[in-house]
């Protein structure tokens, strides 16, 4: 078990409020190495009538490239004919 997400990273002090507002209670999700670890902890918590915990097993994390994040969040794609510096909007992000 690695611990709560909030204890596993740091950011610039002026970004703290933005991170807290954006992530909310997910900052208290507990990072573990795999599903087996989370299952073991859940069984223990159930046996002693413990509270609720949300686990983030690292073996279930899919790492996205910067291009994949742009595509999924902002509907932006990298133009391969111009290079990585050029962005083209594939769908409007906001409608006027």
| Nearest in space to 2 (alpha carbons), one of 34, 25, 50 | 34
Task: Please report the beta strands in 1-96, taking only residues with DSSP state E, as ranges in sequence order.
Answer: 3-4, 30-32, 55-57, 76-78, 87-89
The pLDDT of residue 77: 63
The pLDDT of residue 78: 60
The pLDDT of residue 89: 46
pLDDT tens digits, residue range 16-59? 999 999 999 999 999 999 999 999 999 999 999 988 999 999 99
pTM over 0.75: no
Cα–Cα distance measured from residue 86 to residue 96, given in angstroms and rounded to the nearest whole number: 24
The domain spans of the chain are 1-61, 62-96
Class of domain 1-61: mainly alpha
The pLDDT of residue 65: 78
Cα–Cα distance measured from residue 41 to residue 18, given in angstroms and rounded to the nearest whole number: 31
Cβ within 8 Å of residue 19, ≥6 positions away: 11, 27
């Amino acid at each position: 078990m690695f611990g709560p997400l909030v204890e596993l990273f740091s950011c610039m002090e002026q970004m703290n409020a933005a991170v807290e507002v954006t992530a909310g209670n997910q900052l208290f999700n507990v990072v573990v190495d795999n599903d087996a670890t989370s299952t073991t902890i859940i069984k223990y918590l159930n046996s002693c009538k413990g509270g609720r915990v949300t686990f983030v097993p690292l073996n279930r994390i899919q790492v996205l490239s910067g291009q994949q994040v742009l595509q999924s969040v902002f509907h932006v794609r990298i133009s391969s004919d111009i290079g990585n510096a050029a962005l083209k909007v594939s769908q409007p992000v906001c409608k006027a």
